[in-house]
Structure 1
């Protein structure tokens, strides 16, 4: 598996564990979100017209994606704990697998709709730049997380 393909998975688990600490979850999420907005604003060089249309679409997508990944997946991951997997019946396992697949489909559909909406306001080149900037941001965030964890 290429590192490029592994990064989103690692980021998901890193951010999941980061967000799993419920006492300051919202505060941490807002800080990361503000940092991300600042980073993307700098990287994308959006015109004022583009920015006016882009941010509502981006924020709605980001919020829904967060909800799907972190709220629904948190429930699934709790059930996937080593001890819990052993105690699941085949029927319960099938149901859980079906729920995970359903969430994956929701994420895919959400991403398709998001891309369709972006194409209406941004050039293909800027959408690619957005994708690269998001990947760069995620790598930067993961590095900061690792550096902070290494100091503890």
Structure 2
């Protein structure tokens, strides 16, 4: 019964996300978050007691992870023709520092949730997260680019 209810919530939320196809900057983050919660809860088969401990940790992790990605994307585009070897070395070093920070964040989060979830659920989370993104892309392709 729980799975059916979660599935219906997921379908309703994902359908509502794409029914009117707002511009990319105007998406409803609350509906997107609700759809993600329903999707991951169903994929991981989270029990209510697990979910109450898991979601605050996941939300904090996701926010910090998005911060790393924003930093990585925010780096200036470098004019390769005028780039010196020393500048290139610094850019490479900074890139690896950010990637290491992201890896450390993910490792810490995974060990924390492995105390709440089963090891199998903790392992499945990364793939379930990717599946959700794939689901969004698929829905976007099916409904076209929408009004701009």
Change (3 A) 1:53 1:90: same
Task: Give the Cα–Cα distance (whole angstroms) in 2 for the partners of residues 30 and 86 of structure 1.
Answer: 44
Aligned residue pair count = 124
Does residue 79 of structure 1 match 2:77? Answer: yes
* Separation of aligned partners in 1, 2:62 and 2:135: 18
Q: CA deviation at 1:128?
A: 3.1
- CA distance in structure 2 between the partners assigned to 1:86 and 1:28 by the alignment: 42
Equivalent residue number for residue 85 of structure 2: 90
**Counterpart of 2:138?**
143
CA pair 92-32 structure 1, distance change in 2 beyond 3 A:
farther
Q: More displaced, 38-47 or 141-150?
A: 141-150
Unaligned runs of at least 5 residues, structure 1: 1-22
Rate the CA distance shift 1:74–1:119 in 2: closer, same or farther, 3 A: same
TM-score, normalized by length of structure 1? 0.68
Q: Deviations over 1:16-51 (max 9, x none)?
A: xxxxxxx937x5655533321221123223222111
CA gap 1:144/1:86 in 2 versus in 1, 3 angstroms: farther
Map of 2:107 onto structure 1: 112
Aligned to 2:117: 122
Larger Rg: 2
Q: CA RMSD in A?
A: 2.7
- TM-score scaled by structure 2? 0.70
Question: Per the alignment, do residues 150 and 24 of structure 1 end up closer, same or farther by CA in structure 2, a change over 3 Å counting?
Answer: closer
The verdict on how the C-alpha distance between 1:96 and 1:41 changes in structure 2, with shifts beyond 3 A counting, is: same
